[in-house]
Amino acid sequence: MDDNEKLLDKAIDLYLTGLKGLGSFISEPSAEYSLSFEQYLILKKIIRKPKIKLMDIAEERGVTRSAISRQLRPLLNNNYIKQEADPEDRRRLFLISTPEGKQVEHRISSLVMRRFSKWVDVYGKDRGAELLDLLEDFNKQIIMRRRK
């Protein structure tokens, strides 16, 4: 087995154990409120940027409007957000959080921060920052470049 094969095996093992586990670790707080982590992040975006439009979120994330529309359904069904027609163009809909949505986002954010803080306490701020810097660099040089 050559060095690249060893690195590939290590990357696969890390993905299967570490990265998938990290995804579950991060997403558990939102599941309690019938949301995926992605839906929670969209809710957070709507709260921070009132009257944002679906197409703005889609463009920012580099996905289709229908993909965002599917993500919005649980937020609408759970009354975490509502849609409001733009008075200047009734065909355009603004996304607005409800009081319940703001409350749920705050609870999830608190749980996520508590979990993340425990991770930083165990791993250390400096090592955590180094790890995130490496992952960010990998994302820029490999993942994002592949999408272009």
Helical (H) or strand (E) element with 99: helix 99-123
pLDDT confidence of residue 147: 64
Residue 110, token pair as written in the block: 């608190």
CATH architecture for the domain at 12-147: Orthogonal Bundle (1.10)
Measured from the Cβ of residue 95, the count of other Cβ atoms closer than 10 Å reads 25
Query: Mean pLDDT over residues 25-31, rounded?
Result: 85
> What residue segments make up the domains of the chain, in order of their start?
12-147
φ and ψ at 95, to 5 degrees?
Answer: -105, 130
Question: Looking at per-residue confidence, does 62 or 102 come out higher?
Answer: 102
pLDDT digits (tens, 9 = 90+) for 51-93: 999 999 999 998 999 999 999 999 999 999 999 998 888 888 8
List, in order, residues 6 or more apart from 43 with CB less than 8 Å away. Answer: 35, 75, 80, 81, 97, 101, 104, 105
